[in-house]
Structure 1
Amino acid sequence: MHKGSCLCGGVRFEVQGELPAPNACHCSMCRKHTGHYEAGTDVPRSAVTITGQDNLTWFRSSEKVKRGFCSICGSSLFFDPPALDWIGIMMGAFDTPTNTKLAYHIFVADKGDYYDITDGLPQNLQ
Protein backbone atom coordinates (compact mmCIF):
# COMPACT_ATOMS: atom_id res chain seq x y z
CA MET A 1 0.00 0.00 0.00
CA HIS A 2 1.15 3.51 -0.79
CA LYS A 3 -0.06 6.58 1.09
CA GLY A 4 0.09 10.28 0.40
CA SER A 5 -1.51 13.63 1.05
CA CYS A 6 -1.61 17.28 0.21
CA LEU A 7 0.72 19.73 1.96
CA CYS A 8 -1.68 20.49 4.85
CA GLY A 9 -3.02 16.92 5.23
CA GLY A 10 -6.60 17.98 4.46
CA VAL A 11 -6.76 15.43 1.61
CA ARG A 12 -5.21 12.00 2.02
CA PHE A 13 -5.15 8.96 -0.22
CA GLU A 14 -4.10 5.32 -0.23
CA VAL A 15 -3.28 3.13 -3.23
CA GLN A 16 -3.45 -0.65 -2.99
CA GLY A 17 -0.73 -2.51 -4.89
CA GLU A 18 2.39 -1.44 -6.71
CA LEU A 19 2.61 1.92 -8.43
CA PRO A 20 3.02 1.83 -12.21
CA ALA A 21 6.05 3.68 -13.56
CA PRO A 22 5.18 7.38 -13.74
CA ASN A 23 5.60 9.71 -16.68
CA ALA A 24 6.39 13.41 -16.80
CA CYS A 25 4.05 15.67 -18.78
CA HIS A 26 5.42 18.98 -20.03
CA CYS A 27 2.25 20.32 -21.71
CA SER A 28 1.24 23.88 -20.91
CA MET A 29 -1.83 22.83 -18.88
CA CYS A 30 0.17 20.50 -16.63
CA ARG A 31 2.89 23.12 -16.20
CA LYS A 32 0.35 25.76 -15.20
CA HIS A 33 -1.51 23.39 -12.86
CA THR A 34 1.61 22.30 -10.99
CA GLY A 35 3.95 25.26 -11.42
CA HIS A 36 6.51 23.15 -13.30
CA TYR A 37 5.95 19.89 -15.17
CA GLU A 38 3.74 17.11 -13.86
CA ALA A 39 5.08 13.72 -12.79
CA GLY A 40 2.27 11.28 -12.12
CA THR A 41 1.33 7.63 -12.05
CA ASP A 42 -1.93 6.22 -13.42
CA VAL A 43 -3.62 3.73 -11.09
CA PRO A 44 -6.90 1.82 -11.32
CA ARG A 45 -9.74 3.72 -9.65
CA SER A 46 -10.60 0.60 -7.67
CA ALA A 47 -7.15 0.73 -6.00
CA VAL A 48 -7.55 4.30 -4.65
CA THR A 49 -9.19 5.48 -1.43
CA ILE A 50 -9.43 9.23 -0.87
CA THR A 51 -10.26 10.83 2.49
CA GLY A 52 -10.92 14.50 3.14
CA GLN A 53 -13.03 14.85 0.00
CA ASP A 54 -14.68 17.95 1.51
CA ASN A 55 -11.30 19.64 0.98
CA LEU A 56 -10.89 18.36 -2.58
CA THR A 57 -11.79 20.72 -5.42
CA TRP A 58 -12.03 19.68 -9.06
CA PHE A 59 -11.22 21.91 -12.01
CA ARG A 60 -12.39 20.74 -15.44
CA SER A 61 -9.41 21.68 -17.61
CA SER A 62 -10.88 20.16 -20.78
CA GLU A 63 -13.88 18.16 -21.94
CA LYS A 64 -11.98 14.95 -21.17
CA VAL A 65 -10.10 15.74 -17.94
CA LYS A 66 -10.58 17.25 -14.52
CA ARG A 67 -7.79 18.05 -12.06
CA GLY A 68 -8.07 17.67 -8.31
CA PHE A 69 -6.39 19.90 -5.75
CA CYS A 70 -6.69 20.69 -2.05
CA SER A 71 -8.96 23.68 -1.49
CA ILE A 72 -7.04 24.57 1.70
CA CYS A 73 -3.36 24.47 0.68
CA GLY A 74 -3.69 24.29 -3.12
CA SER A 75 -1.62 21.11 -3.62
CA SER A 76 -2.05 19.51 -7.05
CA LEU A 77 -3.05 15.91 -6.45
CA PHE A 78 -5.08 14.22 -9.20
CA PHE A 79 -5.48 14.04 -12.98
CA ASP A 80 -8.85 12.44 -13.67
CA PRO A 81 -10.22 11.42 -17.07
CA PRO A 82 -13.71 10.37 -15.84
CA ALA A 83 -14.47 8.25 -18.92
CA LEU A 84 -11.49 5.96 -18.21
CA ASP A 85 -10.95 3.37 -15.48
CA TRP A 86 -7.84 5.00 -13.98
CA ILE A 87 -6.88 8.17 -12.15
CA GLY A 88 -3.50 9.91 -12.23
CA ILE A 89 -1.86 10.82 -8.92
CA MET A 90 0.97 13.33 -8.63
CA MET A 91 4.20 11.63 -7.54
CA GLY A 92 5.16 14.51 -5.25
CA ALA A 93 2.08 13.86 -3.09
CA PHE A 94 3.15 10.31 -2.18
CA ASP A 95 4.95 9.49 1.05
CA THR A 96 8.23 7.80 0.22
CA PRO A 97 9.42 5.26 -0.68
CA THR A 98 7.33 4.87 -3.84
CA ASN A 99 9.49 2.03 -5.21
CA THR A 100 9.14 3.26 -8.77
CA LYS A 101 11.07 5.44 -11.21
CA LEU A 102 10.10 7.86 -13.96
CA ALA A 103 9.70 6.00 -17.27
CA TYR A 104 9.36 8.68 -19.98
CA HIS A 105 8.44 12.28 -20.84
CA ILE A 106 5.43 13.46 -22.89
CA PHE A 107 4.54 16.74 -24.61
CA VAL A 108 8.17 17.81 -24.60
CA ALA A 109 7.45 20.06 -27.60
CA ASP A 110 5.57 22.27 -25.10
CA LYS A 111 8.14 22.19 -22.29
CA GLY A 112 9.25 25.35 -20.57
CA ASP A 113 12.29 27.13 -21.97
CA TYR A 114 13.92 27.47 -18.53
CA TYR A 115 14.98 23.82 -18.15
CA ASP A 116 16.51 20.94 -20.09
CA ILE A 117 15.55 17.27 -19.98
CA THR A 118 18.84 15.44 -19.51
CA ASP A 119 17.91 12.19 -17.74
CA GLY A 120 18.21 10.04 -20.88
CA LEU A 121 14.61 8.77 -20.68
CA PRO A 122 12.45 8.52 -23.82
CA GLN A 123 10.86 11.81 -24.89
CA ASN A 124 7.62 12.03 -26.87
CA LEU A 125 6.95 15.33 -28.65
CA GLN A 126 3.20 15.00 -28.00
Structure 2
Amino acid sequence: MADGTSTARADVKTGHCLCGSVRYEVRGTLRPVVNCHCVQCRQTHGHFIGYTSAEREDLVLTEETGLRWYRSSEKARRGFCTVCGGSLFWDPAEGSSIAIAAGTLDPPTGLQTVRHIFVAEKGDYYEIEDDLPQFPGTMRGNPL
Protein backbone atom coordinates (compact mmCIF):
# COMPACT_ATOMS: atom_id res chain seq x y z
CA MET A 1 0.00 0.00 0.00
CA ALA A 2 1.11 3.55 -0.67
CA ASP A 3 1.15 4.55 3.01
CA GLY A 4 3.79 1.96 3.88
CA THR A 5 1.44 -0.46 5.59
CA SER A 6 0.70 -3.86 4.13
CA THR A 7 -2.16 -6.25 4.38
CA ALA A 8 -2.22 -9.95 3.60
CA ARG A 9 -4.29 -10.76 0.56
CA ALA A 10 -6.38 -13.90 0.72
CA ASP A 11 -5.65 -14.73 -2.92
CA VAL A 12 -1.85 -14.79 -2.50
CA LYS A 13 -0.37 -18.27 -2.81
CA THR A 14 3.23 -19.10 -1.96
CA GLY A 15 5.60 -21.80 -3.11
CA HIS A 16 9.22 -22.82 -3.28
CA CYS A 17 11.72 -25.43 -4.39
CA LEU A 18 12.94 -28.19 -2.07
CA CYS A 19 15.79 -26.15 -0.55
CA GLY A 20 14.15 -22.71 -0.58
CA SER A 21 16.69 -21.06 -2.92
CA VAL A 22 13.71 -20.23 -5.14
CA ARG A 23 10.58 -18.84 -3.47
CA TYR A 24 7.62 -17.16 -5.05
CA GLU A 25 4.20 -15.66 -4.52
CA VAL A 26 1.27 -15.72 -6.91
CA ARG A 27 -0.81 -12.60 -6.43
CA GLY A 28 -3.70 -13.54 -8.65
CA THR A 29 -5.80 -16.39 -9.93
CA LEU A 30 -4.32 -19.84 -10.50
CA ARG A 31 -5.70 -22.05 -13.26
CA PRO A 32 -6.85 -25.56 -12.32
CA VAL A 33 -4.15 -28.24 -12.57
CA VAL A 34 -3.47 -29.95 -15.88
CA ASN A 35 -1.35 -33.12 -15.97
CA CYS A 36 1.17 -33.09 -18.82
CA HIS A 37 2.50 -36.41 -20.10
CA CYS A 38 4.82 -35.06 -22.84
CA VAL A 39 8.32 -36.46 -23.21
CA GLN A 40 10.01 -33.23 -22.09
CA CYS A 41 7.96 -33.01 -18.89
CA ARG A 42 8.61 -36.66 -18.08
CA GLN A 43 12.34 -36.20 -18.65
CA THR A 44 12.42 -32.98 -16.63
CA HIS A 45 10.38 -34.26 -13.68
CA GLY A 46 10.97 -38.01 -13.86
CA HIS A 47 7.24 -38.64 -14.38
CA PHE A 48 4.25 -36.72 -15.69
CA ILE A 49 3.70 -33.35 -14.03
CA GLY A 50 0.74 -31.37 -12.76
CA TYR A 51 0.95 -27.72 -13.74
CA THR A 52 -1.19 -24.78 -12.75
CA SER A 53 -0.59 -21.39 -14.32
CA ALA A 54 -0.93 -17.70 -13.58
CA GLU A 55 -0.50 -14.45 -15.41
CA ARG A 56 3.23 -13.72 -15.61
CA GLU A 57 2.69 -10.33 -13.93
CA ASP A 58 1.09 -12.10 -10.93
CA LEU A 59 4.18 -14.25 -10.24
CA VAL A 60 6.57 -12.50 -7.83
CA LEU A 61 9.93 -14.10 -7.06
CA THR A 62 10.73 -13.48 -3.41
CA GLU A 63 13.98 -15.51 -3.48
CA GLU A 64 15.74 -16.33 -6.72
CA THR A 65 19.38 -17.02 -5.85
CA GLY A 66 19.08 -20.58 -7.14
CA LEU A 67 16.87 -19.85 -10.15
CA ARG A 68 18.20 -20.59 -13.62
CA TRP A 69 16.41 -20.89 -16.93
CA TYR A 70 16.90 -23.61 -19.53
CA ARG A 71 15.61 -23.06 -23.08
CA SER A 72 14.08 -26.51 -23.64
CA SER A 73 12.65 -25.64 -27.06
CA GLU A 74 11.89 -22.70 -29.30
CA LYS A 75 8.46 -22.61 -27.64
CA ALA A 76 9.45 -22.36 -23.97
CA ARG A 77 12.04 -22.21 -21.25
CA ARG A 78 12.02 -24.04 -17.92
CA GLY A 79 12.90 -22.53 -14.55
CA PHE A 80 14.72 -24.71 -12.04
CA CYS A 81 16.82 -24.46 -8.88
CA THR A 82 20.56 -24.96 -9.33
CA VAL A 83 20.97 -25.88 -5.66
CA CYS A 84 18.43 -28.71 -5.19
CA GLY A 85 17.49 -29.38 -8.83
CA GLY A 86 13.81 -28.63 -8.30
CA SER A 87 11.84 -27.82 -11.44
CA LEU A 88 9.36 -25.01 -10.87
CA PHE A 89 8.27 -23.19 -14.02
CA TRP A 90 7.45 -23.66 -17.68
CA ASP A 91 7.53 -20.27 -19.39
CA PRO A 92 6.14 -20.18 -22.94
CA ALA A 93 7.66 -17.76 -25.43
CA GLU A 94 4.18 -16.55 -26.40
CA GLY A 95 1.26 -15.53 -24.26
CA SER A 96 0.90 -13.80 -20.93
CA SER A 97 0.86 -16.78 -18.54
CA ILE A 98 3.52 -18.95 -16.93
CA ALA A 99 3.04 -22.56 -15.81
CA ILE A 100 3.91 -23.41 -12.21
CA ALA A 101 4.60 -26.95 -11.00
CA ALA A 102 1.62 -27.52 -8.71
CA GLY A 103 3.67 -29.60 -6.28
CA THR A 104 5.83 -26.57 -5.46
CA LEU A 105 2.87 -24.62 -4.03
CA ASP A 106 2.42 -24.48 -0.28
CA PRO A 107 -0.83 -26.11 0.88
CA PRO A 108 -3.64 -25.58 0.98
CA THR A 109 -3.76 -24.83 -2.74
CA GLY A 110 -7.51 -25.13 -3.23
CA LEU A 111 -6.78 -26.44 -6.73
CA GLN A 112 -8.21 -29.43 -8.57
CA THR A 113 -6.81 -31.44 -11.46
CA VAL A 114 -9.08 -31.11 -14.50
CA ARG A 115 -7.45 -32.92 -17.46
CA HIS A 116 -4.51 -34.72 -19.01
CA ILE A 117 -2.61 -33.42 -22.05
CA PHE A 118 -0.07 -35.02 -24.40
CA VAL A 119 -1.37 -38.47 -23.52
CA ALA A 120 -0.13 -39.69 -26.93
CA GLU A 121 3.39 -39.29 -25.45
CA LYS A 122 2.72 -40.85 -22.03
CA GLY A 123 5.15 -43.36 -20.63
CA ASP A 124 4.55 -47.05 -21.27
CA TYR A 125 5.05 -47.88 -17.60
CA TYR A 126 1.79 -46.42 -16.27
CA GLU A 127 -1.90 -46.08 -17.09
CA ILE A 128 -4.15 -43.07 -16.66
CA GLU A 129 -6.92 -44.51 -14.51
CA ASP A 130 -9.09 -41.53 -13.61
CA ASP A 131 -12.11 -40.23 -15.53
CA LEU A 132 -10.67 -36.80 -16.36
CA PRO A 133 -10.67 -35.66 -20.02
CA GLN A 134 -7.62 -36.72 -22.02
CA PHE A 135 -6.11 -34.94 -25.01
CA PRO A 136 -3.50 -36.47 -27.36
CA GLY A 137 -1.63 -33.15 -27.55
CA THR A 138 -2.14 -29.65 -26.26
CA MET A 139 -5.43 -28.41 -24.87
CA ARG A 140 -5.40 -25.23 -26.97
CA GLY A 141 -8.85 -24.53 -28.27
CA ASN A 142 -10.42 -26.55 -25.48
CA PRO A 143 -12.05 -24.44 -22.75
CA LEU A 144 -11.40 -25.25 -19.10
Same fold, TM-score > 0.5, yes or no: yes
Q: What residue number does 1:36 align with?
A: 47
Give the letter aligned to residue 79 of structure 2. Answer: G
Q: CA deviation at 1:41?
A: 0.9
Q: Matched residue of 2:43: which SS?
A: helix
Residue ranges of structure 2 left out of the alignment (5+ in a row): 1-11, 138-144
1:69 aligns with 2:77: no
Superposed displacement of residue 113, structure 1: 1.1
In 2, the alpha carbon distance for the partners of 1:10 and 1:60 equals 20
8 Å Cα contact 1:19/1:99 also seen in 2: no
What stretches of structure 1 of length at least 5 have no aligned partner? Answer: none
2:124 to 90, 109, 113: 113
Counterpart CA distance in 2 for 1:70 and 1:45 is 19
Q: Which runs of structure 1 show a deviation greater than 6 angstroms over 4 or more consecutive aligned residues?
A: none
**Percent identity at matched positions?**
48
**Letter of the aligned partner of 2:105 in structure 1?**
F
Do 2:28 and 2:54's aligned partners in 1 also have CA atoms closer than 8 Å?
no
Letter in 2 for 1:53: E
| 1:96 lines up with 2:104 in the alignment | no
Shift of 1:3: 0.4
Contact 1:19 1:98 in 2 (8 A): no
Letter in 2 for 1:115: Y
Mapped contact 1:15–1:47 kept (Cα < 8 A): yes
- Correspondence 1:14 to 2:5: no
Q: What TM-score, normalized to structure 1?
A: 0.96
What does the per-residue CA deviation read over 1:14-65, in whole Å, with 9 as the maximum and x for residues that have no partner?
0013321110110000100111011101210111101322310111010110
d(CA) in 2 for partners of 1:76 and 1:16? 20
Larger CA Rg, structure 1 vs 2: 2
Q: Which has the higher contact order (CA 8 A, sep 6+)?
A: 1
> Does the CA-based 8 Å contact 2:28-2:55 persist in structure 1?
no
